[in-house]
Amino acid sequence: MYREKMSCIYLVTFNDSKKVVHCEKCDLYDKVAAEFNITKSMKLCQWNSDFDEWIDVGNLENLPNKTKLTVKLTEESHCSTITSGTHTEPHFPIESASSSSSVTTVPLDSDEDEDSQTAEDMTSLANSHNTDPWIPPLIRTEPKALISSRVRSNKNWMVDYNLSKVPVHVLLGIEACKEDIVNITSSTRRGINQWLFNDLSSHALYPSSAEYNTVVMAFLRKFPFLADKNNKNPMGTWLEGIRQKFRDARRSMAHVPEVMAMKKKYGTKTQRPPLVETEITPAKRIRIMTQNIAEDEHSIAAYVKEMMKECKKNVKNMDLIKDRMQRTFVYRQEEAKNGSLTITDIIEKYPAYQFPAVIFDEAKRLFKVDLQEELKNASHSILPKLKKMLEPKLKSVPEALLHILKENEVLCCIPLLFTNKLDMFIQYSDQENSDVTTPYPCILATEHADPAVYVQKRWLCNCSTFGEALIVLITSYWIFDVRFPKALTCTLQLLSFVLKISETIQNPTVQKIINSL
């Protein structure tokens, strides 16, 4: 910006000191800083005789000669300072000229020598204020660095971070939500992710976790009603959305030195081996096991033998069977966990699993939740909304299967919400004595028989309803310590949430569905 070069004289006051300063108008800030040994951000105010008040100095070109000036430090009003070494580095809230971005905070790192903003950038941006803030000369003369350079943060990184102005189309979309994330549209979500990406990408090309969290927290403080409906992780979908934006953006930057360096350091050319679904992968879930001190190997063996004998009787004593399963619970869980028995061995050793009532009791011991009761509650509150979301996708389900499912179509077709493989969850056969094609727990539906549940392609039990079959299916993953298959992860996570098995949702796609419920 052009400034008039003319020697002027000013009476400048700073604290208790008064000095007469001779300089050109364009050098006024530097001259005042040198005279009073000021190394912090400051502003100048001039005396207005009409109102008997100090007013901010506007454009220096319009500042009259022989004017009374006073110096005011602007640490609190115009910037936040972070002490580093021998000087203080300010970052200013800057007003952008674009309509989509009006307020931005320019953060500077306090522990590293890398800079996220050049002197020229800060000076030109600062001139957009009504008052020209002064930047210490030491900051101005620092070496130029790439804006995209990684800034390693300390614990107080961007404590005062301010988001840029919300773009108009994004603000309209947010207002249309009526303060409820249930009403948010995909286009509004994409617009928000783009806005947050633009804001953070001006600071770092490879943001750290703290930087991601800071930006998303600033967004949710501004719009708290857009937080995910998850008390343990209310930022999950927004964090994943902005991370994905950075991944997509960096794919087209292979020639950028920073991207090349990161790929060289962390990249790998090895590919994952293809998944062959011939055997089930054990989950090795971490559990808090309660030691059954009263039982030893001899008593456990006696209980198992007694249970097997009772299961072979025509008239079975279910109370006795349930009691023996209760007494052997810890031992059976340890067997499944350490892999000493295969799934086939477990089914043969504990034939009581052929009774759904036994598996329902097992679920209560595993999850401390009555899954039958939770499914009943969900049928009134959640399933109607799921049905509405599923209706457009039921066209891909065979008519014969839909005819059998009837009112249970919502429960059994949840994989369609995530384009998961439906045949890994439920299969249809027009023959009663047929097998399933997946080793994972799966429901087999036939025309004239009750739904059956299979594990490792082996029959486990028959259920009277599809709701019971669903409970048996998802409980089987814990009974036999089976890892969720990748093709059904979203489906099983959603079911775990609906049935109150787990409230920890790691997949943002599942969280978006939950937000809609």
Classified as helix, coil or strand, 504 is coil
Which alpha helices (H) appear in 312-447, and where do they start and end?
Answer: 318-327, 329-338, 343-349, 356-367, 371-381, 383-390, 399-405, 409-412
pLDDT number for residue 469: 92
Q: Check residue 452 and give its pLDDT.
A: 92
30/39 Cα distance (integer angstroms): 10
Q: What would the two tokens of residue 341 be?
A: 């028995």
pLDDT of residue 358: 94
For the cut 50, the answer to whether the pLDDT of residue 342 exceeds it is yes
Per-residue tokens: 186: 């995909």
DSSP three-state, residue 20: strand
Q: Which two tokens stand for residue 223?
A: 């719009």
What is d(CA 343, CA 325) in angstroms, rounded to the nearest whole number?
17
> Tokens 């292979």 label which residue?
254
Which residue shows structure tokens 């360096």?
A: 261
Alpha-carbon torsion (281, 495, 463, 486), positive or negative? negative
Closest CA to 286 of 249, 348, 337: 337
What integer pLDDT is reported at residue 273 of this predicted model? 60
Helix (H, G, I), strand (E, B) or coil at 87: strand
- For residues 155 and 468, the model is more confident at 468
pLDDT score of 116 more than 60: no
Q: Is 216 exposed, middle or buried (0-12, 13-18, 19+ CB in 10 A)?
A: buried
Query: What Rg, from alpha-carbon coordinates, does the chain have?
Result: 34
What is the distance between the alpha carbons of residues 514 and 503, in angstroms, rounded to a whole number?
Answer: 11
Q: Which residues pair with 81 in a beta bridge?
A: 90
End-to-end CA distance of the chain: 55
Look at residue 462 and give its three-state secondary structure: strand
The mean pLDDT of 462-487, rounded to a whole number, is: 91
Predicted confidence (pLDDT) per residue in 148-174, tens digit: 333 334 334 445 678 888 888 888 889
SS (H, E, C) 173-205: HHHHCCCCHHHCCHHHHHHHHHHHHHHHHCCCC
Q: Are 497 and 507 in contact (CB under 8 A)?
A: no
Give buried/exposed letters for 266-276 (b at 16+ CB in 10 A, else e).
eeeeeeeeeee
Q: Look at the block and give the residue holding tokens 């005789």.
A: 49
Average pLDDT, integer, range 139-154 = 36
Does residue 335 carry a pLDDT above 60?
yes
What number is the average pLDDT over the span 111-130? Answer: 37
How far is CA 54 from its chain centroid? 49
The dihedral built from the CA positions of residue 7, 8, 13 and 14, taken in this order, carries a sign that is negative
pLDDT band for position 455 (50/70/90)?
A: very high
- Biggest alpha carbon distance in the chain? 112
Residue 77 CB neighbours (<10 A): 10
Report the alpha-carbon angle 100-106-108, nearest 5: 160
- Per-residue tokens: 451: 């739904």
Contact 350, 307 (CB under 8 A): yes
Segment 34-73, tens digit of pLDDT = 888 887 778 889 888 888 888 888 777 788 888 889 988 8
CA distance 132 to 110: 24
pLDDT value of position 157? 43
How confident is the model at residue 109, as a pLDDT? 37
Ordered structural domains, the chain, with CATH: 7-73 (3.10.20.90), 168-266 (no CATH), 297-516 (no CATH)
Q: Supply the pLDDT for residue 136.
A: 38
> What is residue 4's three-state secondary structure?
coil
CA 386 → CA 342, 373, 466, 467, distances in Å? Answer: 36, 18, 17, 15
| Rounded average pLDDT over 76-91 | 35
Q: 432, exposed or middle or buried, with CB in 10 Å at 0-12, 13-18, 19+?
A: exposed
The single-letter DSSP state of residue 49 is T
Cβ contact 48:63 at 8 Å: no
Structure tokens of 408?
């249970």
pLDDT tens for 368-397 read 989 999 988 888 888 888 888 888 888 888
**Please, is 283 exposed, middle or buried when counting C-beta atoms within 10 Å of its C-beta (0-12, 13-18, 19+)?**
middle
Give the pLDDT confidence of 205-252 residue by residue, as tens digits: 888 888 898 899 889 988 999 998 887 788 888 998 999 999 988 888
**Residue 458 belongs to what H/E stretch?**
strand 458-462
| Residue 256 pLDDT class (50, 70, 90 cuts) | confident
* Confidence check: pLDDT of 467 > 60: yes
Are 72 and 61 a contacting pair, CB within 8 Å? no
Q: What pLDDT was estimated at residue 360?
A: 94
Distance separating alpha carbons of residues 335 and 321, to the nearest angstrom: 19
| 143: DSSP letter | P
Check residue 364 and give its pLDDT: 92
